[in-house]
Amino acid sequence: MTAQRVVMVVDMQNGVFATPRLARERCVAQINRLVRAADKVIFIQHDEAGGLEAGSEGFALLPELEQPAGALYVTKTACDAFYHTSLAQVLDEHDIQQFVICGCATDYCLDTTIKNGASRGYGIVIAEDAHTTADRPAAQAATLIAHYNEVWRTLTVSWQSFTGETHRNNSARLAAELSC
């Protein structure tokens, strides 16, 4: 049996993008490419007061984001998509041990979820051109994205693609692998 081709999309919500994010259109296009190639898609959505309340317009996923039938949805209240959520249970119920991750924000929710997921033993492939963030007081968004891509490449876990070949992970290559 071949492994499921799973894509996890983090916090691509209207309220999150109320703050300008680097290359929104490019990021969404790359995520949609991955979503179309996946067997299963998991959308992670942040729920908190101040515009991201569940059921609100801010909580809703970006309208240009493709949401396939059968997609799974997990709501979180912290940067870590595993913290006090059903994510581990959802992954277990669907026998998911590895996934491609993408979304927003690079330096917050993606980073925290990637590191926690890796420490839990999940095989995580980062789509290096399918995540984004905002400019911060200490660094511009492009610098943060480059920095975190490098940090994630050097984590002490196996960063191999679904075909087993270690490489830089851009969405075009990952989508091609997912389509295999």
DSSP codes of every residue in 118-139: HHTT-EEEEEEEEEE----SSS
* In the chain, domain spans: 6-179
Q: Digits of tens for pLDDT over the chain (180 positions)?
A: 567 899 999 999 999 999 999 999 999 999 999 999 999 999 999 999 999 999 999 999 999 999 999 999 999 999 999 999 999 999 999 999 999 999 999 999 999 999 999 999 999 999 999 999 999 999 999 999 999 999 998 875 544 444 444 444 555 556 566 654
| pLDDT value of residue 177 | 66
Query: How far is the CA of 134 from the CAs of 116, 142, 171, in angstroms?
Result: 22, 9, 20
Whole-number pLDDT of residue 162 = 42
Rounded Cα distance between 129 and 153, Å, is 13
At 97 the pLDDT is 94
* pTM of the predicted structure, to 2 decimals: 0.88
- Fold classification of 6-179 is Rossmann fold (3.40.50)
41 SS3 class: strand
Give the pLDDT of residue 38. Answer: 97
Strands 98-104 and 6-10 come out as: parallel
Amino acid 171: pLDDT: 55
Is the Cα torsion angle 49, 32, 106, 163 positive or negative in sign? positive
